């Protein structure tokens, strides 16, 4: 703000031209605008030209110098006059600084950004300034810089290597300084939860809620594990997970300061990533064996087929009893409709790592590992660690339930995701039974750019219905496309991601339609049962809650239109929307102004932990240039308008009256 006001102050009348040619003022007032390099286009750019001449405060000719020497009193006269002018200039500058907030406010209060009509109309309006009009000029410049950097794909692609190289040669301080002043400032709320409180309050003033996110995640680094024993690795990760659980507890406590807030959790930070990969492998193999044993491919298996599958488990006897006794007990429990057949949902709920009664079935043994079709097991110590992970998560859920803070479980890489889903479904089954005042407590995330995402969403809905809890689902397109495709290529695996952006759009829209369709189906059931058509679907009666987390404006508009068609009230928060901090503010603030449930992810954490998150944000902005171009255009138009307003203010700056100084 101060720099903008400095640039707007005229040299007082009668001041020497050498003052105007100083590097500070020349760079701020008469050079070409520093914003030009961030322009979406150069047309219409305004440039100030330096004046051809300036009135001189005093002559610098030899004659005048001699006169000054001849008359000592003239020195003090000039000093007094110069001091007076300096005071007047300072007063003028101070006056401008005190009026600066009003100047910025007037720049965006002269006209209303919203039409006041339909939310869809306001979302479609590409000149809607609601996302930029209340930002400070420095924030606008920062956003312009970051978005501009994101357009350099080579820089974005090389960023991980540059940071890695800086770490190798111990040059992280200057690199982190640049990151902290640019991408970190744009996309993160701070380095601690307390740092984010101001951001959360500011968002709340715009009708936007917050999802506070301790942005610490863990990935596999086998080279880092080679020199350690299994016991050392286990101890290290358990200690780290306990520490992060304490930090997430602080995150939940901080989020609870704002009503209806969320806290985000990454399950990879709550245990060993190696353990999560092993659990994922076990679960994936078990489901694959189920599909293979299902001879008629109708999705269900008979008791004999059930027995074959149990025999493939690492420890089918659980160290006691006979196989037939174990199968009889498990099949009776799984066959809930008593038709003599069991589908995958009922099997997975019954024979589960999440149950104390059946966890021992997955205990690894040498004989099981040598079997051809065996399901890979886990050592007893690994099963104990998995139980510890569940205990950490349940403790955090208890705290969240007490403080009425909802939890958002983030999706991560595909080689962790089956284990993450297994944990999330376990928590939903235990905490999403009773309707809460602010809706279900646990939300799971589905990355719809994965080919199997829609099928898993539908399968999880079936599971929720059978176990009588609310399925709360956040739908995203996905955040790991680059690394996932690279891994699939290196390992010779099938690409798990949809073939092309259009296929991803189709998958995402299908997920939204499925969730809204289940709401509509429930609404019709209520109307038919109670013979009332005026009873709107509410949080207490809906089987699902949908969270549309998307930066794609078309997806948001499409969802709003579907909500209007189905009569789903924005205030019901049966459908919520979300974007990341620093992205798509036009969408976020428009939804907030129209009363929709809209939330911003507010990540925080030490900068060296947040680097992976920031790299993904840069990659996402680089790959979605269309949306970023709209953002940049809005930012640029706002800056031009403020610049024009500032020039108008310049003309109104009072000038020091002419007098003795001018004559001299």
Average pLDDT score, the chain: 79
Is the residue at 595 inside a domain?
yes
Same domain, 289 and 408: no
> How many CB atoms are closer than 10 A to CB 387?
14
- pLDDT value, residue 56: 33
Instruction: State phi, psi for 57 to the nearest 5 degrees.
Output: -70, -40
CATH number at residue 366: 1.10.238.10
In this structure, is residue 298 part of a structural domain? yes
pLDDT in tens, 381-434: 999 999 999 999 999 999 999 999 999 999 999 999 999 999 999 999 999 986
pTM recorded for the entire structure? 0.77
CA 39 to chain centroid: 26
Alpha-carbon distances of 169 from 175, 178, 308, rounded to whole Å: 12, 17, 57
Contact between residue 340 and residue 303 where contact means Cβ atoms under 8 Å apart: yes
Pairing of strands 406-409, 442-447: parallel
Evaluate whether residue 132 is within a structural domain: no
Report the distance separating Cα 580 and Cα 321, nearest Å. Answer: 53
Partnered with residue 407 across adjacent β-strands are 263, 442
pLDDT, tens digit (0-9, with 9 covering 90-100), for 279-307: 999 999 999 999 999 988 999 999 999 99
Same domain, 480 and 568: yes
Q: Is residue 138 part of a domain?
A: no
The pLDDT of residue 180 = 87
Would you say 306 and 410 are in contact if contact means Cβ atoms under 8 Å apart? no
Contacts of 630 (CB under 8 A, 6+ apart): 126, 553, 586
Whether the Cβ atoms of residue 148 and residue 38 lie closer than 8 Å to each other: yes
Q: Quick: pLDDT tens for 124-134.
A: 988 888 888 88
The helix (run of H) or strand (run of E) holding residue 143 is: helix 137-150
* Residue range(s) defining the domain that contains residue 83: 2-110+643-663
Model confidence over 14-23: pLDDT tens digits? 334 333 333 3
Instruction: Give 342-368 pLDDT, tens digit per residue.
Output: 999 999 999 999 999 999 999 987 545
Q: Alpha-carbon distance 569 to 560, whole Å?
A: 10
- Same domain as 419, residue 534: yes
User: Residue 33 corresponds to which tokens in the numbers above?
Assistant: 């605008």
Q: Report pLDDT digits (tens) over 267-282.
A: 999 999 899 999 999 9
**How far, in Å, CA of 222 to CA of 317, rounded?**
34
Query: What phi and psi, each to the nearest 5 degrees, are found at residue 654?
Result: -65, 140
pLDDT of residue 633: 83
How far, in Å, CA of 321 to CA of 57, rounded? Answer: 105
Ramachandran area for residue 68 (φ above 0: left; ψ -120 to 50: alpha; else beta): alpha
Alpha-carbon 362 to chain mean position: 36
Q: What is the DSSP string of 628-650?
A: HHHHHHHHHHHHHHHHHHHHHHH
| 420 & 551 share domain | yes
Q: Work out the number of other CB atoms within 10 angstroms of the CB of residue 197.
A: 19
pLDDT band at 146 (very low <50, low <70, confident <90, very high): confident
Evaluate if residue 116 carries a pLDDT over 70: no
Q: How far is CA 131 from CA 124, 134, 465, 613, 632, in A?
A: 14, 7, 39, 23, 12
Yes or no: say if 460 and 425 are a contact pair by the CB < 8 Å rule. yes
Among candidates 616, 618, 157, which has minimal Cα distance to 413? 616
Distance separating alpha carbons of residues 445 and 213, to the nearest angstrom: 14
Contact between 341 and 300 (Cβ < 8 Å): yes
Bigger pLDDT: 640 vs 30: 640
Residue 126, domain member (yes or no): no
Separation in Å, CA 463 to CA 55, 186, 330, 422:
82, 40, 18, 12
How confident is the model over 590-596, as a mean pLDDT?
Answer: 94
Final residue belonging to a domain, choices 606, 623, 655: 606
3-state secondary structure of 301: strand
* pLDDT of 635: 86
Asked if residue 453 lies in contact with residue 446, where contact means CB atoms within 8 angstroms, the answer is yes
Count the domains in the chain.
3
pLDDT tens for 199-244 read 999 999 999 999 999 987 666 665 566 677 888 888 989 999 999 9
In a domain, 155, yes or no: no
Question: How many Å is the Cα radius of gyration of the chain?
Answer: 32
- If one counts every other C-beta atom within 10 angstroms of the C-beta of residue 237, the result is 21
Q: Is the dihedral of CA 609, 613, 615, 618 positive or negative?
A: negative
Residues 431 and 512 in one domain: yes
Q: Are residues 339 and 466 in the same domain?
A: no
Cα Dmax for the chain: 120
Q: Which of 349, 370, 391 is the last residue of a domain?
A: 370
Q: Which residue has the higher pLDDT, 206 or 612?
A: 206
CATH of the domain at 541: 3.20.20.220
Side-chain half-sphere exposure of 392, counting CA atoms within 13 A: 27
In a domain, 559, yes or no: yes
Residues 240, 297 share a domain: no
For residues 453 and 559, membership in a common domain is answered with yes
DSSP code for 184 = I
Q: What are phi and psi of 610, to 5 degrees?
A: -90, -10
Q: Does residue 130 form part of some domain?
A: no
Contacts of 580 (CB under 8 A, 6+ apart): 187, 551, 600, 601, 603, 617
Do 334 and 405 share a domain, yes or no?
A: no
Upper half-sphere CA count for residue 459 (Cβ side, 13 Å) = 18
Q: Are residues 294 and 228 both part of a single domain?
A: no
- Name the DSSP letter for residue 180: I
Max mean pLDDT among 125-129, 276-280, 438-442, 655-659 falls in: 276-280
* CB-CB contact of 427 with 354 (8 Å): no
Same domain, 21 and 70: yes
H/E/C letters for each residue in 449-511? CECCHHHHHHHHHHHHHHCCCCEEEEEECCCCHHHHHHHHHHHCCCCCECCCHHHHHHHHHHH
Three-state DSSP class for residue 101: helix
Quickly state the pLDDT bin for 196 (edges 50, 70, 90).
very high
Q: Which two tokens stand for residue 74?
A: 């003239």
580 SS3 class:
strand
Residue partners of 243: CB distance under 8 A and separation at least 6: none
Whether residues 465 and 486 fall in one domain: yes
């Amino acid at each position: 703000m101060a720099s903008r006001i400095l640039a707007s102050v005229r040299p007082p009348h009668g001041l020497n031209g050498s003052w105007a040619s100083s590097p500070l003022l020349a760079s701020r007032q008469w050079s070409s605008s520093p914003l030009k390099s961030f322009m979406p286009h150069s047309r219409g750019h305004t440039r100030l030209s330096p004046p051809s001449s300036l009135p001189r405060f005093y002559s610098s000719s030899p004659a005048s110098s001699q006169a000054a020497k001849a008359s000592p009193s003239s020195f003090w006269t000039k000093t007094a006059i110069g001091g007076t002018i300096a005071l007047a200039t300072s007063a003028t500058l101070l006056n401008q600084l005190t009026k600066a907030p009003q100047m910025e406010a007037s720049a965006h209060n002269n006209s209303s950004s919203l039409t006041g009509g339909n939310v869809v109309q306001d979302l479609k309006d590409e000149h809607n300034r609601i996302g930029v009009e209340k930002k400070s000029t420095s924030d606008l410049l920062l956003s312009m810089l970051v978005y501009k950097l994101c357009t350099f794909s080579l820089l974005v692609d090389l960023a991980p290597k540059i940071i890695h190289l800086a770490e190798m040669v111990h040059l992280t301080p200057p690199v982190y300084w640049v990151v902290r002043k640019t991408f970190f400032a744009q996309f993160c709320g701070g380095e601690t939860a307390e740092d984010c409180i101001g951001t959360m309050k500011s968002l709340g003033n715009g009708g936007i809620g917050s999802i506070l996110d301790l942005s610490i995640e863990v990935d596999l680094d086998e080279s880092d594990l080679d020199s350690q024993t299994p016991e050392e690795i286990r101890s290290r990760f358990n200690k780290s997970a306990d520490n992060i659980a304490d930090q997430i507890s602080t995150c939940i406590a901080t989020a609870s300061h704002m009503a209806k807030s969320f806290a985000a959790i990454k399950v990879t930070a709550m245990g060993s990533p190696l353990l999560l990969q092993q659990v994922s492998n076990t679960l994936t193999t078990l489901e694959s064996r189920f599909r293979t044993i299902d001879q008629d491919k109708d999705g269900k298996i008979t008791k004999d087929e059930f027995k074959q599958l149990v025999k493939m488990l690492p420890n089918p006897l659980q160290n006691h009893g006979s196989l037939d006794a174990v199968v009889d007990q498990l099949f009776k429990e799984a066959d809930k409709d008593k038709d003599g057949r069991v589908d995958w949902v009922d099997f997975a709920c019954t024979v589960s790592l999440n149950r104390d009664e059946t966890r021992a079935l997955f205990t690894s043994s040498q004989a099981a590992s040598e079997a051809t079709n065996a399901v890979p097991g886990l050592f007893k110590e690994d099963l104990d660690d998995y139980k510890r992970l569940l205990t950490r998560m349940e403790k955090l859920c208890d705290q969240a339930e007490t403080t009425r803070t909802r939890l958002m479980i983030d999706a991560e890489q595909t080689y962790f995701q089956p284990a993450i889903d297994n944990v999330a479904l376990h928590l939903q089954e235990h905490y999403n039974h009773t309707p809460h005042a602010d809706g279900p407590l646990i939300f799971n995330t589905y990355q719809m750019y994965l080919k199997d995402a829609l099928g898993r969403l539908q399968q999880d809905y079936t599971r929720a219905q059978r176990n009588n809890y609310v399925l709360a689902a956040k739908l995203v397109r996905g955040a790991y496309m680059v690394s996932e495709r690279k891994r699939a290529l290196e390992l010779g695996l099938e690409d798990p991601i949809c073939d092309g952006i259009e296929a991803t759009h189709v998958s995402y829209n299908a997920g939204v339609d499925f969730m809204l369709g289940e709401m509509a189906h429930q609404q019709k059931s209520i109307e038919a049962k109670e013979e009332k058509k005026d009873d709107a679907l509410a949080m207490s009666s809906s089987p699902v809650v949908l969270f549309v987390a998307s930066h794609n404006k078309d997806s948001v508009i499409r969802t709003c239109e579907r909500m209007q068609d189905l009569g789903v009230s924005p205030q019901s928060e049966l459908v919520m929307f979300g974007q990341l901090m620093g992205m798509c503010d036009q969408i976020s603030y428009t939804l907030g102004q129209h009363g929709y449930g809209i939330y911003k992810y507010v990540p925080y954490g030490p900068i060296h932990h947040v680097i992976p998150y920031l790299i993904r944000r840069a990659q996402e902005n680089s790959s979605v240039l269309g949306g970023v171009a709209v953002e940049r255009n809005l930012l640029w138009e706002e800056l031009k308008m403020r610049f024009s307003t500032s020039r108008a203010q310049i003309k109104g700056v009072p000038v020091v009256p002419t007098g003795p100084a001018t004559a001299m």
